[in-house]
Amino acid sequence: MLILQVYLGLRTVLFGLVLPEEALKDHSVRAIRRNYALLTSGFTVVIGGACLYWLHHQPVRGLLIWITAILLLLIASTFAVWLSRMSAQRLKAARGWKAARQTKRAASLTAGRAHGPVLSSWWYSVNAGVMALCIFFAIAKWDTIPQVLYLGKYIFHKTGWSVFMLNFVQALNITVFVSINLLISRARTSLDPHDRKGSLQKQLKHKKIHSLLAWSASLLMIVFDGVAQAIALYGWKGNLLFLSGMALVTVLFVALISVLLYMRTKGIDQLRDLPSMEDRHWKWLGLIYANPEDPALLVPNIHGFGWTINMANPRSKIIAASIIAIPVIDFMLAFPLFNQ
């Protein structure tokens, strides 16, 4: 995934730097992407080998080792991105490349109302139905639930909170993804002045794909929480928790890769958001957008997948705080139990 990110998305963006079309034919541009892929692959081999060695000697720390491997690889990839971005900056300055600025823009004021760019929030009633079934069975079987509950290597005492904690996590999941769906519907729709109709259809499809992906991810996570709850409450044995967790990660990974490749083949990831296509507005390795002159709260990500927040917008602080609060709330919900 880390390697693919530099080959997907806008072809004229190199590690957050906007290049002119003619730069795509330059061998040095391809070399920078290739060097990043090789460097990241090297980090993967070293980190993976070290963590496998650690796992061989301490197999009981499997989850900790897995998380450590991911975090180390993310740090190493960030370092590789930093090196590659500096190379790209030097190359752009040496070639004197300047991306052409377009002042003509097109907008559709009725696109959202006429075409329905995202799934209706009613789709999440399916997710809520799965959560309701989990709650119903927990209540119906309350008397048969043992006084001591087991989830993996953790042991809990039967209380109202320990029985229904994962249902609170499910409810938080639904709230978060419904909010994401609404944000997608309100994200800016950028049209190509030279192909207004075609770019509009691609933009609407772009939003619909992300909306469907978000809904599917939410449903899979809720089902996984339901399986974990059933394992703890009804004594399901075996490696079901591990297998269901790995199945969740695998399906999400395959779905994400499939969406990226589909968007690539259809050219949906090549849509430009003209007001935000200036290097100076993209901070911190080209990952954060801050443009006080842009009234939009959400703009298409310069890397070609999803949207990002305009951090210069006053409302962005609320969204950023909410994003940070979600894992904190999840941790606060679970910590009293797992700390027993």
Supply the DSSP string of 277-331, one letter for each residue.
--GGGEETTTTEE--TT---SEEE-TTSSSEEEBTTSTTHHHHHHHHHHHHHHHH
Residue type, 318: I
Q: State the average pLDDT over residues 227-243.
A: 81
Query: Which token pair is 159?
Result: 């209380």
pLDDT tens digits for range 296-320 = 888 888 876 788 889 998 888 888 8
Output phi, psi for 150, to 5 deg: -125, 130
- Is residue 279 within 8 A of residue 292, CB to CB? The reply is no
Report pTM: 0.82
Predicted confidence (pLDDT) at residue 108 exceeds the cutoff of 70: no
Query: Which residues does 206 contact at the CB level (< 8 Å), separation at least 6?
Result: 263, 268, 271, 300
Q: How confident is the model at residue 78 (pLDDT cuts 50, 70, 90)?
A: very high
Query: Which token pair is 40?
Result: 């990241």
pLDDT tens digits for range 138-194 = 999 998 888 888 776 677 888 888 899 889 999 999 999 999 999 898 888 877 777
Output phi, psi for 46, to 5 deg: -65, -50
Burial (CB count <10 Å: 0-12, 13-18, 19+), residue 315: exposed
**What is the rounded distance in angstroms from the CA atom of residue 160 to the CA atom of residue 142?**
10
